[in-house]
Amino acid sequence: MPSELVLRYGLNPHQQPARAWMEGGDLPFVVRNGRPGFTNLLDALNSWQLVQELSRALGLPAAASFKHVSPAGAAVGLPLSPVERVSCAVEDLELSPLASAYARARGADRMSSFGDWVALSEPCDVATAELLRREVSDGVIAPGYETRALRILSRKRGGNYCVLEMDPGYVPEPVETRQVFGVRLEQRRNDAVIGPDTFSNLVSENRTLPQEGLRDLIVATLALKYTQSNSVCLAHNGQITGTGAGQQSRVHCTRLAADKSDLWFLRQHPEVQSLRFRAGISRADRNNAIDLYLNEDLSPAEELAWEAAFDVVPTRLSAAARREWLDALDGVALSSDAYFPFRDSLDRASRSGVRFVAQPGGSVRDEDVIAAGNSYGMLMAFTGLRLFHH
């Protein structure tokens, strides 16, 4: 493995030259195809840590879909139901466990995942490569590639698709440094281990935490560890269903994450599942049309945009029908990278099926927040672990 890699450019095309290098050793990855840029490597190295830790914590293949150094989606390789297959746009594919993980990671927020960076915890198999082949994506990092899978990926984007192979045995130094505006900053890297014990301090009246809820709290909390702060994450059935990242207000994080999660579950509504698009429409245009179809507040131009996706314009799903569907939800997990300063986040989360909540605790209003969770029958765990990521 080389000790230095010349990059296409930095964060923006005018930021040249750019490179990646290691002091006193080789880089922990090799380029198998394409040529990465600065942002590609930020996404690759963050997403690799997420899928590696997620797979280790739950003993399942894991995948992540990264955009701008935060996960648009992350999941473990649980089988997809027929409804989930349609929602993830993979109803026509044979899926391995690893491909199922990426289908879930990509499918939860297909608009945000457009042009993503992909991370896989296991060597990329043919089923996963076939799924990647037809999605708009910038690159992938994995600990290896089956010969045919690498051949498929190497032909993507006219032969320029970026493929990185990571050394699975690489362990970084415990102290990390960065330079900002000429100033060097140094800290111990965030090596906190997220597992079942993280959620042992239950502070709510509801103390029933089933294995599925624990699994989803682990998924949501590990995702937060590699999401730009402030952040709140919702998860269900082994996958992220909504992430609110990079907001300055905790409740805005929650609203964004819950709104995205609502869209994921609304995509599974029978009326949405039965939508029939006009012939020849692209996958991206189909995703955009569904998003507009489910949006209540549209301009005339946006109305025309979603209607144009169909030969026969379907009847819009009513607000009452949307609310009835979402009110039937239960068992969604929510994790926050810092404490809730007010109860407003719990009030919003209650409308999105949230039953399990994890947060560090430590607010002067902890008792108010716990009382809010109790009023909705939520289980709440104080982790004592803040997970800011910048």
Is 14 an annotated catalytic residue? no
Q: Is 268 left (phi over 0), alpha (psi -120 to 50) or beta?
A: alpha
* Cβ atoms of residues 300 and 346 within 8 Å: no
pTM for the model: 0.96
State which H helix or E strand residue 262 sits in: helix 250-266
Q: Which of 68, 206, 252, 374 is catalytic?
A: 68
Q: Which of 33, 40, 46, 67 is catalytic?
A: 67
State which H helix or E strand residue 186 sits in: strand 183-188
* Cβ atoms of residues 121 and 63 within 8 Å: yes
List phi, psi (to 5°) of 33. Answer: -165, 150
Grouping H, G, I as helix, E, B as strand and the rest as coil, residue 4 is: strand
- Helix axis angle, 126-133 relative to 147-154, nearest 10°? 10
Is 68 an annotated catalytic residue? yes
**Could you tell me the pLDDT band of residue 275, with boundaries at 50, 70 and 90?**
very high
Spatial separation of the C-alpha atoms in residues 146 and 148, rounded to whole Å: 6
At residue 367, does pLDDT exceed 80? yes
Q: Which of 40, 230, 287, 288 is catalytic?
A: 230
* Domains in the chain: ranges and CATH: 4-171 (3.40.140.20), 193-266+326-382 (3.40.140.20), 274-316 (1.10.287)
pLDDT (tens digit per residue) in 60-95: 999 999 999 999 999 999 999 999 999 999 999 999
Is 269 an annotated catalytic residue? no
Is 67 an annotated catalytic residue? yes
Residue 352 gets which letter from DSSP? G
pLDDT (tens digit per residue) in 307-343: 999 988 999 899 999 999 999 999 999 999 999 999 9
